[in-house]
Structure 1
Amino acid sequence: MPVRPVRGVGLAASIAVGAVAVCSLLSLASTLVGRSLAERAAGTGDQDNLLVAALVEVATAVPFVVAYLAAIGLVIVWTYRARRNLDAFPGVLPGYSAGWAIAGWLVPFVNFVIPAQVMRDIAQSSLRRGGSGRLVALWWGSWLVFLVGGRWADRVSSREFDRLPESPTLRSEFYDYADHYTASFNRNLLPTLAGLVAGATLIVLIRRISAAQHARMRSGEPYGPVVPGMTVPSPE
């Protein structure tokens, strides 16, 4: 049965995941910049400071979206290849078919469970060491906090921002913007930290699994299922 290289796409996925983590930190930092500019505007009465704060927020949001979409695509490709390779490894009986490596991310509600199950299959079948299940659980739990918490924080911040005066003139109105950025920072702090944990653990999983699968391909072990009566050569 054919095997698929996973090291190259795994490296690309790891870089994209790392970029998402960096961009999420920059997005969190932009709220602190916004608060500082809003407080400066309260002292000077210059609305241009609020415009700069909005531009900083957009400048950090766009790279995050690009990195996020790239990471999702690359992780799905890597997961599919790694799962297909299990079919060529004798004695491996994964619980989910290779199709779920893609569909599991795309089907609503199912995507809260299946990707973790597929990753657990891949990790436990590829890594010949304990602890892979706990690592997958840590990755998926922190990912859900990042995903759900981040979306909640964005929606609350968006509604809060819509209630702010469009053309503030009073000192208190400028401070309303400063309070908004402070609250936004507080809401996004936990999801951002969870995203860093999720990114780090996912990179570890990708690198370990990729290395393990390539080592098995080079070891001389046969590819394909083992059937009764089949002679399995031992690796030299």
Structure 2
Amino acid sequence: MHCQTCGDATSAAFDECQRCGTRNGQPPVLPGVPTYAVRGLGLAASVAVGATAVLFTLSALFPLVGVRLARSAAEQLDRDVLLGAVLAEVLFTLPFVVALLVAATLVVIWTWRVRRNLDAFGGVAPAQSSAWAIAGWLVPFANFVVPARVVAEVARLSLWRRRTPWLVVLWWSAWLVFSIGERVVAQMEQGRYERLTEWPRNDEEFGTYVDFYAGALAPRLVPAVACLVAGVSFVVLVRRISAAQQDRIARAAPAWPAHPGWPAAHPGWPTQSGWPAPGAPVSAVPVSAVPASAVPVSGAAGPAPGSGGDGTGGPAATSAQLPPGAGGTIGA
């Protein structure tokens, strides 16, 4: 006997599968508990997270452009070039902000869905409430701990791991370094920028802007690298968890899709699709359960004399009976 969830051989000495925790004979998904598709959403979240990491890296490297613009402004003693540097940095940062908002929305929805799917999986007992899958990202101070706990639990129960995967630890550690480091660097740069001369007039005052951009690159590299590490590790996590959950949900789906015109399930039919199991005798299918529309009509043979097309002795349901005319049945 094999487990219906992971396919491993089960033993009578244990009541549940030793790999995935599903009880012996239990289906992969509990009947009547809703599940949510996560493969497509996970792909969209992965793309958004990857785009966010790339755009933040580009914005972190802007001091390379700022130094060149500041030097050009110092050579020409032109304050408009410095103003152009400020506007250029805004243009670098704006796409990152938009991508971050999109990625945050998709990640929160994905986290909630994969957590809710755990309620439909037999053999798992999640400790984190599904409400924390959303609130954990939004509540101050709790968002430093709760999202990691939720994703760690989802990863363990979805990937059949007894311990938290190392990717979760890597992702959350890098995310904390990025979140805290980016704010610290931004405050440091704000303090340095406020000490600059607002309207430079000579080479020395223009040179302070060159020094400002030259000294801004190194501190920005720390959160930039952390953002890339967090983005790559989270994308891998999302793809693995989404694939594992979607595959488990697919195992619980019937082999043959139901159709509105097909007969309803009968106690004598062992399959969920409403059709007899392969190899079952034809007598197991009650004729009364099959609608007339499901019976194929052949042009080679018609109904028995004196009977209707439905076999009840009345007129067939597929065509109306016309009175015989003088010229035959065609009415010629």
Give TM-score scaled by structure 1 length: 0.90
Q: Which has the higher contact order (CA 8 A, sep 6+)?
A: 1
Residue 132 of structure 1: how far off its partner (Å): 5.2
Residues 1:206 and 2:254 aligned together: no
Equivalent in the alignment of 1:230: none
Q: C-alpha distance in 1, partners of 2:184/2:219?
A: 9
Cα deviation, 1:170-225, whole Å, max 9, x if unaligned, reads: 11211211111122211111001000000000100001100000011112399xxx
CA separation of 1:68 and 1:137: change in aligned 2, threshold 3 A: same
CA separation of 1:32 and 1:130: change in aligned 2, threshold 3 A: farther
Residue 80 of structure 1: how far off its partner (Å): 0.1
Q: Please, which of 98, 111, 117 is the counterpart of residue 66 of structure 1?
A: 98
Q: Please, which of 106, 110, 114 is the counterpart of residue 138 of structure 2?
A: 106
Root-mean-square deviation (CA, aligned residues, Å) is 1.6
Residues 1:175 and 2:200 aligned together: no
Higher percent of residues as helix: 1
Q: C-alpha distance in 2, partners of 1:26/1:109?
A: 29
Residue 15 of structure 1: how far off its partner (Å): 1.1
Residue 45 of structure 1: how far off its partner (Å): 1.3
Cα deviation, 1:71-127, whole Å, max 9, x if unaligned, reads: 111100000000000010011112201001001111111110010000000101111
CA separation of 1:96 and 1:129: change in aligned 2, threshold 3 A: closer
**Counterparts in 2 of 1:80-159, with a 5 A limit?**
80-128=112-160, 133-159=165-191
Structure 2 portions without partners, runs of 5+: 1-32, 255-332
Equivalent in the alignment of 2:42: 10
- One-letter code aligned to 2:249: M
Q: C-alpha distance in 2, partners of 1:138/1:108?
A: 22
SS at match of 2:165: helix
Percent sequence identity is 51
Residues 48 and 103, structure 2, Cα contact 8 Å, conserved in 1:
yes
Q: C-alpha distance in 2, partners of 1:212/1:56?
A: 43
Q: C-alpha distance in 2, partners of 1:34/1:165?
A: 16
Residue 10 of structure 1: how far off its partner (Å): 1.0
Residue-pair matches, total: 222
Runs of 4+ in 1 over 4 A off after TM superposition: 129-132
Structure 1 portions without partners, runs of 5+: 223-236
Give TM-score scaled by structure 2 length: 0.64
Q: C-alpha distance in 1, partners of 2:205/2:151?
A: 49
Identify which range, 200-209 or 44-53, moves more after superposition: 44-53
